[in-house]
Amino acid sequence: MNELTLGDVKVEVEFKNIKNVHLSVYPPKGRVRIAAPLHMSLDTIRIYAISKLGWIKKQQTKLKSAERESSRDYISKESHYYLGKRYLMRVVIQDSSPRVEIKHNCLELTVRPKTSTRKRKEILDDWYRNSLKELIPTIVKRYEKLMKVQVEEFAIRKMKTKWGTCNIEAKRIWLNLELAKKPASCIEYIVVHEMVHLLERRHNDRFTAYMDKFLPNWRLIKQDLNRLPVGHVEWGY
């Protein structure tokens, strides 16, 4: 692993068999990492990093000041979020199949006796994942017609630095599991964002024009998403 020093910013550099440079700023303290193609020189990477220094510092500031959810123990009377709404957890100990249900203002988690905190988290994460899998196809189908594109596959995964990614060649979209906690409008925004990459790879003027066309209020939604508390370990862009 190589390292560059740009004033008070240290940048880890890893050379990989990839086509493009990837710059990431990781929580919780803003560690900076660049993945670069094997053929690229350190001097070229340094120039690239200097050009992105303002963005890097902005992301580091955002990370350090971001409101974060506290760690969870998955016990009764603990706060949990689903589609932007806050629920109090109610844990039911019962010798039956584990399940999660919304009941009025409570998120009811039914678990067997002696179920560990880790297992409780897995049960809730599975429920979040299945909820997104039910919600997202409707959004994808609607925008496929508007954009005249085809999403071949989407999947939900835990992601530390992004809300979503798009593999343009495979026409595959990956979405952050944490989105299940955010308002439906924020989920729609991220899905549209990734689908627009099927029309334009880069975040350039053409990309912005497509966003304006398909989701005119996307800037306001993005601001709302950035203001919401982020996960205990995850962070989005």
Please check the confidence at residue 41 and state whether its pLDDT lies above 90: yes
Q: What is the pLDDT of residues 89-136, one digit of tens each?
A: 999 999 999 999 999 899 999 999 999 999 999 999 999 999 999 999
What per-residue confidence (pLDDT) applies to 188? Answer: 97
What per-residue confidence (pLDDT) applies to 233? Answer: 34
* Residue located via tokens 């350090």: 64
Is the overall model pTM greater than 0.85, yes or no?
Answer: no
CATH placement of domain 79-227: 3.30.2010.10
What per-residue confidence (pLDDT) applies to 235? Answer: 35
Please check the confidence at residue 43 and state whether its pLDDT lies above 70: yes
Q: What is the pLDDT of residues 76-85, one digit of tens each?
A: 999 999 999 9
What per-residue confidence (pLDDT) applies to 97? Answer: 95
The whole-chain average pLDDT of the chain stands at: 90
Domain positions in the chain are 2-65, 79-227
Please check the confidence at residue 71 and state whether its pLDDT lies above 80: no
What per-residue confidence (pLDDT) applies to 116? Answer: 96
What per-residue confidence (pLDDT) applies to 218? Answer: 94
Confidence of residue 66 (pLDDT cuts 50, 70, 90): low
Pick from 129, 219, 212, 117: nearest CA to 177: 129
